[in-house]
Each structure stands twice: as C-alpha cells, then as structure tokens.
C-alpha cells in the first residue's frame, strides 16, 4: 500500500470527500431512494458527533487519485447496561482499491488513535454470513461477543 496516507478529518469544512465515501457505503448495497434517506440521517449523525472523544473519521488517500476509503467510528451505548464504547459505523473502500490493504490500514490507524485517547475497545456489527469481514476482524483480534437476532414482521 505504497503512497497511501490516512488522514483524520476533524473539521466540518473538510468533510465532503469523506462524506462522499460514507454515502457510497450506504447506497451501494441498497441502490435506491432508501439509501439516500439513510445517508441524510448518517450525515447528520457524523456532523453531530465530530469533536467527541470516541468519534473518528478517517480518509485514505493516494497522490493524484480520488479518496480510496473511509472509516467512521463514534460512541454507541446501551443506557440499560450503562455501557458506551466506540462503534465502527462505516468502513468502506472503493471497489477498484479493495484487496490492497486499505481497510486494514484504516482500521489499524483507528485502533491506534482510539488507544492513544485512552479508549479500550472498538466494536463493529458484522452481517452474519459476511465471511470476508468476519475473517478480517478475527485476523485483527476481534472476538464475537454477542449475537443479534432479527425477525421479519
């Protein structure tokens, strides 16, 4: 992954390139108006969370190329359990840049920054049968702790 830099986006005036990739991460699997509605809500969340201790927005860039990938993590909590941990909401790499270590570089940088801020964990929701994401997480030391159950009504 030569020539790729990971930049922390921490100001509202430098959000647009990162938000474009967040938009793609949301709309890619949906490809409909529902994706646009989800992005509007996500954009409000990203903008509102910037500046918090557990919020992190990273952008992977290479010279002379459009941004390659994005990572967004922010606080997620369960008031019933009294827990709050940084949660990985978006990790997206452009299709043409996948399998080149961009996601691993973004994740490694995020882990280092959050650790330096005194945070002790990072959580992520991985779809049940997404073997690639599960494998990447397990290779990096992530452990499955809970099961999420869903029923269509």
pTM for this prediction: 0.86
Could you tell me which residues come within 8 angstroms of residue 89 by beta carbon, excluding any fewer than 6 positions away?
42, 45, 72, 73, 74
Q: What is the pairing mode between strands 69-78 and 56-61?
A: antiparallel
| C-alpha distance from residue 120 to each of 66, 78, 82 (Å) | 33, 17, 16
Q: Which residues of the chain have pLDDT under 50?
A: none
pLDDT digits (tens, 9 = 90+) for 14-33: 889 999 898 888 876 555 66
Which H helix or E strand runs over 25? Answer: helix 16-30
List, for residues 89-101, the tens digit of each pLDDT value.
999 999 999 889 9
Q: Is 39 helix (H, G, I), strand (E, B) or coil?
A: helix
């Amino acid at each position: 992954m030569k020539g790729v830099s990971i930049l922390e986006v921490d100001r509202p005036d430098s959000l647009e390139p990162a938000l474009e990739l967040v938009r793609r991460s949301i709309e890619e699997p949906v490809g409909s108006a529902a994706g646009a509605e989800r992005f509007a809500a996500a954009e409000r969340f990203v903008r509102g969370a910037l500046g918090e201790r557990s919020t992190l927005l990273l952008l992977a860039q290479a010279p002379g190329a459009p941004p390659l990938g994005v990572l967004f993590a922010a606080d997620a909590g369960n008031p019933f359990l009294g827990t709050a941990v940084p949660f990985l909401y978006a990790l997206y790499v452009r299709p043409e840049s996948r399998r080149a270590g961009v996601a691993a570089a973004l994740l490694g940088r995020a882990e280092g920054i959050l650790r330096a801020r005194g945070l002790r964990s990072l959580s992520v929701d991985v779809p049940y049968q997404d073997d690639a994401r599960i494998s990447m997480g397990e290779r990096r030391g992530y452990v499955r702790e809970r099961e999420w159950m869903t029923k269509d009504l």
